[in-house]
């Protein structure tokens, strides 16, 4: 036999909120069903029955009010206009402004932030700048004359742009000729030109060795490790470059006096 919803709920010892949560229905709707204020919607009957673990036939579609319970205040329908609803007793609704009296909300203007002052050049930028100027054989004064302002007046961004310009110039600049070999056994371009000119001209060179002795002769050949010279008596001598302190042209010959 079907029974009132509130009786069945109390038999299961669960609250209205728990039943509403299990059935996925609003609490106010469950309260209206229990008070008999409205009949249970057939679409909700199966939900409520499953939430109570009973059959649909066990629930009365319209419950009898609980004895001694105050009448439940009916909630406003969703179709009721908002201005007509009174959710809190008899308190009148807030008056709505006339349609022509709607004023746009004033937009608050944010205070304009002052621009940040330019950052000074980094120490690393100055070091890089000095290195590029050295490779370009320029001084700080030369660079300031070119840009028309002191370097101390340039900020970080301006220095960065200047470094890019100088790097491009260094890249396009011809590679400087090395005047000395990096390793003792190598022959750099300067030394090769010097020995080739001496050999072509038939010059005699004086070679000073580390043991204090000296040899004088005409250069007839050279390589990475040695120089071959023909002495005045026609004897040829090959000198190890590692044993040489320097070699010079005698004062009677024109050209550079000494090469170490």
Which helix (H) or strand (E) covers residue 251, if one does? none
Q: Could you tell me the strand order of the sheet in which 236-240 lies?
A: 236-240, 226-230, 214-222, 204-209, 244-248, 258-259
Closest by alpha carbon to 9, among 68, 194, 22, 1?
Answer: 22
What's the rounded Cα separation, in Å, for the pair 20 and 25?
A: 5
Residues in the chain: 260
Q: What is the DSSP string of 92-131?
A: PPPPPPPGGGPPPPPPPPPPPPPPPPPPBPPHHHHHHHHH
User: What pTM, to 2 d.p., does this model score?
Assistant: 0.31
| pLDDT tens readout for residues 25-45 | 999 999 999 988 899 999 999
What's the rounded Cα separation, in Å, for the pair 85 and 124?
A: 73
Q: What is the pLDDT of residue 212?
A: 87
DSSP state of 255: S
Q: Which residue is listed with tokens 């000296």?
A: 214
Q: What is the pLDDT of residue 88?
A: 44
Backbone angles phi, psi at 218, to 5 degrees: -90, 135
CB 258 within 8 A of CB 246: yes
Q: List, in order of start, the domains of the chain with CATH numbers.
A: 5-58 (1.10.260.40), 123-172 (no CATH), 189-259 (2.30.30.100)
CB 255 within 8 A of CB 249: yes
Backbone angles phi, psi at 99, to 5 degrees: -60, -35
Q: Which residues of the chain have pLDDT under 50?
A: 77, 79-89, 181-186, 254-258, 260
């Amino acid at each position: 036999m079907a029974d009132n919803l509130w009786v069945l709920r109390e038999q299961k010892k669960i609250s209205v909120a728990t039943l509403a949560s299990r059935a996925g229905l609003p609490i106010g709707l469950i309260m209206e069903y229990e008070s008999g204020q409205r009949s249970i919607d057939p679409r909700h009957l199966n939900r409520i029955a499953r939430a109570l673990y009973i059959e649909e036939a066990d629930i009365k579609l319209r419950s009898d009010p609980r004895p001694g319970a105050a009448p439940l205040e009916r909630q406003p329908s969703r179709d009721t206009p908002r201005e007509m609803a009174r959710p809190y007793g008899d308190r009148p609704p807030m008056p709505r402004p006339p349609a022509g009296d709607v004023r746009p909300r004033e937009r608050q203007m944010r205070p304009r932030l002052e621009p940040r002052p330019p950052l000074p050049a980094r120490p690393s930028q100055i070091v890089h700048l000095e290195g590029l100027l050295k490779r370009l054989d320029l001084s700080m004064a030369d660079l300031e004359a070119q840009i028309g302002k002191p370097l101390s007046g340039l900020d970080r961004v301006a220095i960065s742009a200047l470094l890019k310009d100088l790097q491009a110039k260094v890249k396009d600049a011809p590679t400087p000729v090395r005047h000395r070999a990096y390793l003792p056994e190598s022959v750099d371009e300067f030394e090769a030109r010097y020995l080739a000119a001496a050999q072509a001209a038939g010059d005699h060179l004086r070679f000073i060795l580390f043991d204090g002795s000296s040899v004088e002769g005409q250069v007839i050949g050279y390589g990475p490790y040695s120089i071959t010279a023909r002495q005045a008596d026609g004897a040829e001598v090959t000198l190890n470059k590692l044993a040489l302190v320097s070699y010079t042209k005698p004062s009677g010959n024109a050209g550079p006096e000494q090469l170490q």
